[in-house]
Structure 1
Amino acid sequence: MNKSALMERAVHLALKGSFTTRENPNVGCLIYKSGMILSEGWHVAPGSNHAEVNAILNAESKFKDSTKDVLDGSSLFVTLEPCSTEKRTPPCTDLIQKYSFKEIIYMQSDPSQKGSDILKEKGFGIERLSLNNSVLNNGFFKHLAEGKPYVRAKIACSMDGKIAFKNNNEQWITTQASRKDGYSYRAISGAIITGSGTLETDNPLLNVRLEEAVNDQDFKQPLKALFTTKSYIDSNKKFFKDNSRKIIFTNNENLEMQICETLNTEIVRVESDANQISIPSVLNYLGSINIKDVLLEAGPRLISSFIDSNLIDEYIFYIAPKVLGNKANSFYTNKNLEGILNSPDLEIVEEKSIGRDLKLVLRKKNAS
């Protein structure tokens, strides 16, 4: 296997932690020598061993007293530069130095760490190997650089960009397969954002129901964030009926406080922007509580506000082969679907069919 293929394998390992690392980066690691992968590991959850440590510990478990000899002259591939500081776990550079690796090959640099410099000074070969269109750690890097989360918007719409039926007699525009695919984005998010209009119209639960996520003992339901300018919120809505943490962001001083009696719900008052909730203020607040990735699942008004503020880093479109015309509302009133898809500021990073629907993922060209 060549180096790129080995790093691709490390990326595959990193993604095994997608639903559980949450505020931590997804990291995968493998140890390679003489045409064989000797050991593998990945980071599972905050506070647990890092990927490099798990790969080395797995090698120790496998090779017992022969571990040092077996790993002598091997190559350690890791998707993120090894950490050099102690937080909840010791620095990975300490354990790496106990073995005679020929080289440490990493994919992503971590500006908060000096692992590559430390290991290079200790005589290890160091190489950075980048892969195009890496799907790893956009939220981690944006939060590191700006203190704010990476924003994904999930939009299920028709070919003419319609998102919600006006009479609400029909609830779904796209197929069940598309909806299931979309649930994975909830599972990788630290928070899900919606608005009070969606709460009233659709009465969504907005939780994660993917079996592979909820059956994992390290998985936690994401925070649910509600935008409202109203003075009353019905606490009997499904949104409030689970144990996940919930925050209501409002600029209305008269919002009834009885909502706080609902399980695990708090009210956060934020600044106004033209009588609307300041989205940057909300994103700054979420960043301050260590939320790295958010998913926007909302109606046209809130989606349009995010678009107009240029605060969406990634769009996930599920487009049904339908034209709904005047039967439904557009997801964005200031520009049609084609205008968004052809924006010079966005690039298509994924395009595939899901049943009869088309999935398109577009990312800001300067996104983390």
Structure 2
Amino acid sequence: MASIETGVRAPSEADAMRHALVLARRGPVSGPNPRVGCVLLGADGEVLGEGWHRGAGTAHAEVAALADAAARGASTVGATAVVTLEPCTHTGRTGPCSEALIAAGVGRVVVSVPDPNPVAAGGAERLREAGVDVETGLLGDEGRALLGAWLPAVERGRPFVTLKLATSLDGRIAAADGSSRWITSEVSRHHAHDLRAEVDAIVVGTGTALVDDPSLTARNAAGELHGTQPLRVVVGLRDLPSDARLHGPGGELVHVRTHDPAEVLSLLAEREVRHVLVEGGPTLAAAFLRAGLVDEVHAYVAPVLLGSGSSAVADLGVTSIGDAVRLTTRSVLPLGPDVLVVATVDPSRAPHSSTEEH
């Protein structure tokens, strides 16, 4: 996004925004709310207060910064608030930040990213109505990157979907006899657990749940559960046995009795899920791809050749190379002997078809 279009910006505002982005990263990477940071500047560019959002139900970054300024004994009348996301106008678990800034006498607000959430947006307009000078777009690219999956999830009105694959070099997830542990290395598996810790929900089909009996937990290198666990979502009509590992320690288990990926995402959106990790198996992966509901693919690829066995993705209905699902590679990361390829899907090139059973 372009830099601020109008007005005179003091050099300290860009520095303050960079610091606000650093502050925002202290907030939780998962959850219904975005990571936001705020720095309050005085007339001479001095920092009056700073804050960040610590998660749902806690003070928003702007309110936290105002509280910090009050604790320092600093007046915020005429101050400049530098904030990574447009102040909200919504009253939810907490009050609207735009009103808090107005009440504090803030004279200028500099924003990195406008809020796309129709429920919370409108803060910039409300501030201008109150006579506050507002400018947007400062370090916009950095601001959008910080928001991660939250931003496209809110823009699209559904959870952001990452499809995770762990395959041999020839695209197999298991050998002909069904054995699959372990195709990828321990380094890749640790990295995959870090990815799980960043999402709100992990989704598998009933086939994977019954055959592999996964726990779908996020663990650290020592094998210990992370403090916050994603929802464990099983898609399909078949029942799970009472002794399944999914009933054990970990996130809440949600069984969605449908074969429709859109219905799954709609239910999860109602639960304020922003980021979904689809882990298996090949039929479920194909169903999400065919429905055009995969935004990003994380492919862990091991230098192993099997020649036969289960493929990572079931039939997509592609009969010609021209109909192939084309992705754009965003990064390639070596992980021990393996590599992780992160690629995004162009929605206009995703196949669309009726849902499959899994």
TM bin, normalised by shorter chain, reads 0.7 to 0.9
Q: Distance in 2 between matches of 1:190 and 1:54?
A: 25
User: After the TM superposition, which of the residue ranges 33-42 and 172-181 deviates more from structure 2?
Assistant: 33-42
Q: Distance in 1 between matches of 2:290 and 2:147?
A: 25
Amino acid at match of 2:128: K
Partner of 1:267: none
Give the structure-2-normalised TM-score. 0.79
Partner of 1:96: 101
Amino acid at match of 2:253: K
Offset, 1:279:
1.5
For the 8 Å contact 2:209–2:240, the answer to whether it is kept is no
Provide, for residues 18-43 of structure 1, a one-character-per-residue CA deviation record: whole Å limited to 9, x for no partner.
346x1122212223455655533211
Secondary structure of 1:155's match? strand
Name which of 256, 261, 284 aligns with 1:249: 256
Q: Distance in 2 between matches of 1:317 and 1:5?
A: 37
Offset, 1:45:
1.8
User: After the TM superposition, which of the residue ranges 126-135 and 186-195 deviates more from structure 2?
Assistant: 126-135
Greater strand fraction, Structure 1 or Structure 2: 1
For the 8 Å contact 2:175–2:306, the answer to whether it is kept is no
Partner of 2:38: 29
Partner of 2:244: 237
Partner of 2:336: 355
Name which of 25, 31, 37 aligns with 1:15: 25
Name which of 171, 193, 202 aligns with 1:161: 171
Q: Distance in 2 between matches of 1:36 and 1:317?
A: 46
For the 8 Å contact 2:210–2:240, the answer to whether it is kept is no
Name which of 181, 191, 207 aligns with 2:217: 207
Partner of 2:307: 326
For the 8 Å contact 2:201–2:230, the answer to whether it is kept is yes
For the 8 Å contact 1:133–1:349, the answer to whether it is kept is no
Secondary structure of 1:297's match? strand
Name which of 211, 220, 223 aligns with 2:231: 223
Q: Distance in 2 between matches of 1:32 and 1:328?
A: 61
* 1:191–1:234 Cα change, 3 Å: same
* 1:43–1:202 Cα change, 3 Å: same
Amino acid at match of 1:31: L
Partner of 2:271: 289
Provide, for residues 114-149 of structure 1, a one-character-per-residue CA deviation record: whole Å limited to 9, x for no partner.
111111222322121211583344554455445421
Give unmatched runs, 5+ long, in structure 1: 251-269, 271-276
Offset, 1:196:
2.1
Provide, for residues 211-262 of structure 1, a one-character-per-residue CA deviation record: whole Å limited to 9, x for no partner.
89x898xx542221112343x4222121111263212222xxxxxxxxxxxx
- Counterparts of 1:1-368 in structure 2, within 5 Å, are 6-19=16-29, 22-32=31-41, 34=44, 37-61=47-71, 63-64=72-73, 67-68=74-75, 71=76, 74-110=79-115, 111-112=118-119, 113-129=121-137, 130-131=140-141, 134-137=144-147, 139-210=149-220, 220-230=228-238, 232-242=239-249, 244-250=251-257, 270=258, 277-320=259-302, 322-334=303-315, 344=326, 346-365=327-346
Q: How many residues align?
A: 327
Q: Distance in 2 between matches of 1:166 and 1:4?
A: 57
Amino acid at match of 1:121: E
Amino acid at match of 2:328: E
Q: Distance in 2 between matches of 1:361 and 1:5?
A: 31
Give unmatched runs, 5+ long, in structure 2: 1-10, 349-358
* 1:196–1:319 Cα change, 3 Å: same
Amino acid at match of 1:203: D
Offset, 1:327:
4.7
Q: Distance in 2 between matches of 1:211 and 1:94?
A: 44
Q: Distance in 2 between matches of 1:304 and 1:366?
A: 15
Q: Distance in 2 between matches of 1:54 and 1:170?
A: 49
Provide, for residues 183-214 of structure 1, a one-character-per-residue CA deviation record: whole Å limited to 9, x for no partner.
233223222101122223322110122489x8
For the 8 Å contact 1:165–1:171, the answer to whether it is kept is no
